[in-house]
C-alpha cells in the first residue's frame, strides 16, 4: 500500500489562487455593501445605510416574495416529477425510452433565450396570461431534467436486492418505497431539489420572457436597479442573497448527513 504524502507547496499555492479567483470578487462585493460612498469604488467609510434603505424598499420585498414563491413551488413540483421520471427510466423498458432519455438533455443544453422564446410562444398559443403562474410553469419545465438526471445518477448504484428483501418480509410496494427506496436515494433527491431551487432563484432570461405585470422577481428587480447605477444598495441585496443561499446549502448538507447517519444506524441495528 502506497503512503500518502502531504500536499506540496505548489499544490497549496494553486489551491489558494483557485479559491481567491472564485471568492475574492464576492468578498469585495460584501465589503463594499458597507461603503459610505454611493458611486465610488474607493472605500470611504463604514455604514449600514444601504441595508436600511434596502429593508424599506417595498419593491425589493415584493420581488423577493415572488421569487421565493416561484422557487419553492417549482422545486416541489419538479422534484416529484423528476424523481418519478428517474425511477421509471432506470427501472422500466418501454417504447420511446431512448427518445425520452435524449430529450432530457435539450433544456440543459439549449441556450436559455431559446427556452424563453419557446415558453413564450407556448403560452401565447395556449392563451395564458403572463404572470407568476407562467413563470412557475417555465421554471418547472427547465428544472425537471436537472432533477431527473441527478436522481438517476444516484440510482445507478442502487441495490434492488434491498427492496426485494423488504417485500419478502411482507412490505408492499408503497411501504418499500417510503421506508427503503426513498431514504436510500434521498441524497440524490435533495441534491436535485437544491439544484432546481438555485436555478429558479437566479434565473433571469426565461423569467424575462414569461413574466407579466406584477410578477417581477428579484433577478429582474436587480437588473432594473443596475440600469441606473451600481450602488452599494445592490451590493447589500447581493450580500443578503449570498447569505441566504449559504444558509440553505448548510441546511441541505446537515439533512444529508442526518439521513446518512440514520441509514447507517438502521443497517447496524
Give the rounded percent of residues in the chain with a pLDDT score beyond 70.
93
Res 202: pLDDT: 84
Whole-model pTM?
0.81
Q: Based on C-alpha coordinates, what's the Rg of the chain?
A: 23
The set of residues, in sequence order, having a beta carbon less than 8 Å from that of 158 and lying 6+ positions away, is: 90, 181, 184, 185
Q: How far apart are CA 74 and CA 7, in angstroms?
A: 43
Residue 269 pLDDT class (50, 70, 90 cuts): low
Confidence category of residue 230, pLDDT binned at 50, 70, 90: low
* pLDDT given for residue 201 in this prediction: 87
Lowest mean pLDDT among 42-56, 153-167, 188-202: 153-167
CA distance 1 to 249: 36
CA distances from 41 to 26, 105, 137, 159 (A): 14, 42, 40, 56
Q: Give the Cα separation of 193 and 82 in Å (integer).
A: 9
C-alpha to C-alpha distance for 207 and 119, rounded to whole angstroms: 10
With contact defined as beta carbons under 8 Å apart, do 249 and 180 qualify? no
Per-residue pLDDT tens digits for 66-86: 999 999 999 999 999 999 999
pLDDT band at 209 (very low <50, low <70, confident <90, very high): very high
Highest mean pLDDT among 6-10, 83-87, 177-181, 244-248: 83-87
- 141: pLDDT confidence band, cut at 50, 70 and 90? very high
pLDDT beyond 80 at 14: yes
Q: Write down the mean pLDDT value for the chain.
A: 85
Between 226 and 188, the higher pLDDT residue: 188
- In this model, does residue 17 exceed pLDDT 70? yes
pLDDT above 50 for 29: yes
Element (H, E) at 97: helix 97-103
pLDDT given for residue 1 in this prediction: 45
The confidence score (pLDDT) of residue 144 equals 94
Q: Closest Cα to residue 231, out of 30, 50, 82?
A: 50
Q: Which of 79-88, 113-122, 224-233 has the lowest mean pLDDT?
A: 224-233
Q: Which domains does the chain have, with CATH numbers?
A: 58-268 (1.10.3720.10)
Q: Which residues contact 198 (CB under 8 A, 6 or more apart)?
A: 245
Amino acid at each position: 500500500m502506497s503512503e500518502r504524502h502531504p500536499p506540496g507547496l505548489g499544490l497549496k499555492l494553486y489551491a489558494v489562487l483557485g479559491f481567491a479567483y472564485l471568492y475574492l470578487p464576492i468578498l469585495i462585493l460584501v465589503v463594499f455593501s458597507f461603503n459610505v460612498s454611493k458611486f465610488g469604488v474607493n472605500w470611504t467609510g463604514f455604514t449600514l445605510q444601504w441595508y436600511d434603505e434596502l429593508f424599506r424598499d417595498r419593491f425589493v420585498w415584493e420581488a423577493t416574495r415572488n421569487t421565493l414563491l416561484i422557487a419553492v413551488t417549482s422545486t416541489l413540483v419538479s422534484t416529484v416529477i423528476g424523481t418519478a421520471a428517474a425511477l421509471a427510466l432506470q427501472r422500466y423498458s418501454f417504447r420511446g425510452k431512448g427518445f425520452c432519455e435524449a430529450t432530457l438533455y435539450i433544456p440543459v443544453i439549449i441556450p436559455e433565450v431559446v427556452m424563453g422564446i419557446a415558453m413564450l410562444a407556448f403560452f401565447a398559443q395556449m392563451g395564458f396570461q403572463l404572470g407568476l403562474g407562467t413563470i412557475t410553469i417555465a421554471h418547472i419545465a427547465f428544472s425537471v431534467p436537472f432533477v431527473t438526471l441527478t436522481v438517476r445518477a444516484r440510482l445507478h448504484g442502487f441495490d434492488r436486492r434491498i427492496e426485494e428483501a423488504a417485500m419478502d418480509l411482507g412490505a408492499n410496494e408503497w411501504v418499500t418505497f417510503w421506508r427503503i427506496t426513498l431514504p436510500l436515494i434521498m441524497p440524490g433527491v435533495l441534491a436535485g431539489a437544491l439544484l432546481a431551487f438555485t436555478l429558479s432563484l437566479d434565473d433571469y432570461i426565461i423569467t424575462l420572457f414569461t413574466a407579466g405585470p406584477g410578477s417581477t422577481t428579484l433577478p429582474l428587480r436587480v437588473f432594473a436597479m443596475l440600469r441606473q447605477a451600481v450602488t452599494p444598495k445592490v451590493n447589500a441585496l447581493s450580500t443578503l442573497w449570498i447569505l441566504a443561499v449559504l444558509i440553505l446549502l448548510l441546511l441541505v448538507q446537515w439533512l444529508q448527513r442526518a439521513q446518512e447517519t440514520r441509514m447507517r444506524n438502521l443497517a447496524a441495528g
